[in-house]
Amino acid sequence: MTELVHFEVGGGVGTITLDSPHNRNALSRQLVAELFERLERAAGDDEVLVVVLRSADRVFCSGADLSEAAEGSMAEGARALVDLQRTILTHPKPVLVRLAGPVRAGGLGIVAAADIVICGDDVTFAFTESRLALAPAVISLSVLPRLTSRAAYDTFLSGRTFDAAEAAAMGLVTRSVPAAGLDDAVAETTLGLLAAHPQGLRETKGLLARGILEHLEANAEDMIELSARLFGSDQAREAMLAFLSKKK
């Protein structure tokens, strides 16, 4: 089985790379399982002080793997995505996301759960769930605490595509930088994190994540139930199959 998520350590940084180009880094069962394992490995590695999460190609994540979703219940997948957000939020080391390409739907739960997100100014975003007879249920657990209410209503309801400048303005990403300078910005931010004491990073991150975690724990089961119900509906199955057929 081809590895979909890579992990390497150097200079105090554990780099986790999503590399599933055949489905644009969709959140398949295999990719999610491997991502959990790499995050756990980074947490237990004393050499790793900062985690950088990135994609191998330009697309960061296209959201749920609709080919798997169309085959059966998504209750297990919804719970896994909740656990993934929780894992990032409670990770003992800062998680920095390097965004060099599009991110859609479920992938935005990873983005919102991360501590710092640096993206190129040509990156685009969209909560596409409403267009597939779904709702951004489980990812709302980390996304809603980041956004203003008006931004959430606008982007969740319409499913429209928005750019990096707007994502930064609404609080979804930390900052947008010129695409050509993305790696320099990530390196500079990483150096700033490496200058801090590991205990200071761990405890400060815990303090900052407290409110989001409380929101997640209070609403997780309701959102898992909502997600499973919507993915299992005839309307969503029809919309997903039509989308997959169009892609072919």
Q: Can you give the pLDDT at residue 72? A: 58
Q: Can you give the pLDDT at residue 1? A: 84
Q: Can you give the pLDDT at residue 209? A: 98
Per-residue pLDDT of the chain (248 residues; tens, 9 = 90+): 899 999 999 999 999 999 999 999 999 999 999 999 999 999 999 999 999 999 999 999 999 998 887 665 678 999 999 999 999 999 999 999 999 999 999 999 999 999 999 999 999 999 999 999 999 999 999 999 999 999 999 999 999 999 999 999 999 999 999 999 999 999 999 999 999 999 999 999 999 999 999 999 999 999 999 999 999 999 999 998 898 888 76
What CATH number does residue 12 fall under?
3.90.226.10
Q: Can you give the pLDDT at residue 243? A: 87
CA distance linking residue 229 with residue 223, whole number of Å: 10
Using alpha carbons only, give the angle 192, 195, 197 rounded to the nearest 5 degrees.
125
Range of the domain at 154: 5-180
CB 206 within 8 A of CB 116: no
CA distances from 208 to 40, 80, 126, 213, 242 (A): 21, 23, 26, 10, 41
In the chain, how many domains are there? 1
The answer to whether residue 33 is domain-embedded is yes
The answer to whether residue 199 is domain-embedded is no
The answer to whether residue 79 is domain-embedded is yes
Q: Can you give the pLDDT at residue 118? A: 98
The answer to whether residue 76 is domain-embedded is yes
The answer to whether residue 22 is domain-embedded is yes
The side-by-side arrangement of strands in the sheet containing 5-10 is: 5-10, 13-18, 50-55, 95-99, 116-120, 175-177
